[in-house]
Amino acid sequence: STRGTITQSTHFRSLLGGLLVPGFDERSCLSRYHSAFYRKTMARTPSAHLIKRLREHEALQRRCGPGTEAYRSAAARLRSDHRNNNGTDGDGDSPGACKYLVLVPYRGLGNNILAVASAFLYALLTDRALLLDRETSLGDVLCEPFLGASWLLPQSFPIKNLQNLTGEVPESYRHLVQSGGDGAAAAAASRRRYVFVDLDHSCTYHDKLFFCDDERRFLRRGAPWLLMRTDGYFVPALFLNPAYEGELHRLFPRKDAVFYLLAHYLFHPTNKVWGLITRFHDAYLKNSDDRLGIQVRVFDGDTPFQHILDQILACTSQENLLPEVVTQEPAPAAAGGARRSKAVLMTGLSSWYYESIRWKYWQSATATGEAVSVYQPSHEEHQLSGYTTHDMKALAEMYLLGMTDRIVTSGWSTFGYVGHGLGGLTPWIMFRPENHTTPSPPCRRAKSMEPCMHGPPFYDCRTKHGADTGKLVPHVQHCEDMSWGLKLV
């Protein structure tokens, strides 16, 4: 029946084309099945292979996750300091044994979100159950993504103070690699309780060799527990590793869809955050003909800067994103004549940029006759990452930026990457100013909707030599806003 078809397609739509599974309690996380209705269409659709691998991975999380027998015994081995001296009876080796990736994200919420998306893809590629350190507020602002299995690391996890681990610890991947050839390193890995990989954007050459590891070498044996610290998006580096090439191609026939699809699979705001998002959307954005997002992130301090306001105005004018204003009062429009309305959603820690732009369009009429309304949900003044209410607003604003039609972001900002990435929007990126001057040009349209990787490897896994990693494959290129960064296009 027609009704049946409508319900079926509504159902399919709410599951984001098969990305999500039915079966979660709807009320406990309203955003999960409702976010689809706040979007016109999906910018990218999941491949059949991605859907299949997600279902397999969910089963793995259920089999290995907290509360299971597998988890209990794996955690017990970590506690008992049990080591395999001969390096042959590693439990990680037996078929079906559980392997884990414990992610230690840090810095701001944008950094955290990019780290989780990257770690999840790595976990999927290497059949590891992903568990998140609880030090961040991720668990307060996001719902659980896996049906029937928690992704939060249990409080009882034997290794404490994960945030303090560095590449200097004896368990580090850095030391593993430095301990000799492949055979020696694999044996060394099997004698350790866990392997810790430091992928801070400032990590070393040896840490970054992790990106060339194919799990058949250092990490296969004796590394049922892999602990990882990272603050950013490392997916582009996975695309440079020959070991994952074929599988990544099957998962993502369109290379620019990775963050968008993973984000829609993983990141469902909790009900409180969803309330912030939907109420703001319904009150200020929904009824406009056109929505522009402007994300202002200033790395030079929290005081207002004229050169940054100039940059925003130069960019939006040059790219025809905001209308010009006229000095003369225009002739009165026919009463009741419909004008186009444009809503501008601004985000930033300061309200000064927003006040200035709002005043511009209040003070003067637009040359196009459009009615421009300017909004900013919050102005927190200072970054206070880790405080739940602060992080709730940050997530709501990233999400709202993704609900606009076009978006201008600040270069170098992971907050901005998440905003445009969630929205499936290719941004206009404002270059990071140097010496307190407005850059020329002020901004540029990006090549894709993907986030930029800030600390990429400079090493070719195939030739085992240093290389310009932005030139190895056509779909991994240098970023617009950071010349050494890498992004998928």
CA distance 223 to 315: 49
For ligand GDP, give the closer residue by CB, 360 or 390: 390
Residue partners of 323: CB distance under 8 A and separation at least 6: 342, 366, 367, 368, 370, 372
Q: Report if residue 137 touches ligand GDP, rule: CB under 6 A.
A: no
Residue partners of 282: CB distance under 8 A and separation at least 6: none
CA distance 13 to 20: 10
Q: Which residue's C-beta sits nearest to ligand GDP?
A: 108
Q: Report if residue 201 touches ligand GDP, rule: CB under 6 A.
A: no
* Torsion angle (degrees, nearest 10) of CA 118, 479, 482, 204: 40
Using the rule CB under 6 A, which residue among 47, 84, 111, 118 binds ligand GDP? 111
Query: CB 300 → ligand GDP: shortest distance, Å?
Result: 13
Stretch that binds ligand GDP, among 263-271, 315-323, 328-336, 344-352 (CB under 6 A): 344-352
Q: Report if residue 378 touches ligand GDP, rule: CB under 6 A.
A: yes
Q: Report if residue 380 touches ligand GDP, rule: CB under 6 A.
A: yes
Using the rule CB under 6 A, which residue among 225, 415, 431, 459 binds ligand GDP? 415
Q: Report if residue 414 touches ligand GDP, rule: CB under 6 A.
A: yes
For ligand GDP, give the closer residue by CB, 239 or 415: 415
For ligand GDP, give the closer residue by CB, 144 or 231: 231
Q: Report if residue 110 touches ligand GDP, rule: CB under 6 A.
A: yes
Q: Report if residue 383 touches ligand GDP, rule: CB under 6 A.
A: yes
Q: Which residue has the tokens 């709807």?
A: 26
Residue partners of 90: CB distance under 8 A and separation at least 6: 84, 190, 221, 222, 224
Residues contacting ligand GDP: total by CB under 6 A: 20
Q: Is 16 left (phi over 0), alpha (psi -120 to 50) or beta?
A: left
Q: Which amino acid is at 237?
A: A
The structure tokens listed for 225 are 């527990």
DSSP line for 376-429: -S---SS--TT-HHHHHHHHHHHHHHTTSSEEEEETT-HHHHHHHHHHT--PEE
Stretch that binds ligand GDP, among 3-11, 60-68, 241-249, 382-390 (CB under 6 A): 382-390
Using the rule CB under 6 A, which residue among 70, 109, 132, 425 binds ligand GDP? 109
For ligand GDP, give the closer residue by CB, 71 or 259: 259
Q: Report if residue 281 touches ligand GDP, rule: CB under 6 A.
A: no
Helices (H), 173-282: 173-178, 182-191, 205-208, 235-238, 242-251, 258-266, 271-280
Query: CB 96 → ligand GDP: shortest distance, Å?
Result: 38
Query: CB 107 → ligand GDP: shortest distance, Å?
Result: 5
Stretch that binds ligand GDP, among 149-157, 204-212, 392-400, 445-453 (CB under 6 A): 392-400
User: C-alpha 345: how far from its chain's center?
Assistant: 21
By CB under 6 A, the residues from 282 to 311 that bind ligand GDP are 297
Q: Report if residue 118 touches ligand GDP, rule: CB under 6 A.
A: no
By CB under 6 A, the residues from 4 to 63 that bind ligand GDP are none
For ligand GDP, give the closer residue by CB, 107 or 220: 107
Burial of 302 (0-12, 13-18, 19+ CB in 10 A): middle
| Three-class secondary structure of residue 373 per DSSP | strand
Query: CB 296 → ligand GDP: shortest distance, Å?
Result: 7
Stretch that binds ligand GDP, among 158-166, 190-198, 345-353, 472-480 (CB under 6 A): 345-353
State the Cα angle at 218 between 215 and 222, rounded to 5°. Answer: 90
Query: CB 432 → ligand GDP: shortest distance, Å?
Result: 11
| Three-class secondary structure of residue 366 per DSSP | strand
Q: Please report, for residues 81, 125, 438, the alpha-carbon distance to residue 172 in angstroms, rounded to integers and kept in the order given.
A: 16, 21, 42
Using the rule CB under 6 A, which residue among 316, 347, 366, 477 binds ligand GDP? 347
State the Cα angle at 35 between 34 and 41, rounded to 5°. Answer: 115
Q: Report if residue 255 touches ligand GDP, rule: CB under 6 A.
A: no
CA distance 489 to 486: 10
Q: Report if residue 128 touches ligand GDP, rule: CB under 6 A.
A: no
CA distance 489 to 482: 15
For ligand GDP, give the closer residue by CB, 151 or 415: 415
* Torsion angle (degrees, nearest 10) of CA 199, 201, 206, 208: 70
Count of CB atoms situated within 10 Å of the CB of 396: 25
Query: CB 422 → ligand GDP: shortest distance, Å?
Result: 13
Q: Which amino acid is at 198?
A: D
Using the rule CB under 6 A, which residue among 97, 309, 349, 371 binds ligand GDP? 349
Q: Report if residue 394 touches ligand GDP, rule: CB under 6 A.
A: yes
Which x/- pattern, by CB under 6 A, does the window 65-104 give for ligand GDP? ----------------------------------------
Query: CB 86 → ligand GDP: shortest distance, Å?
Result: 44
Stretch that binds ligand GDP, among 109-117, 237-245, 263-271, 355-363 (CB under 6 A): 109-117
Site residues, ligand GDP (CB under 6 A): 107-111, 297, 347-349, 378, 380, 383, 385, 390, 393-394, 397, 413-415
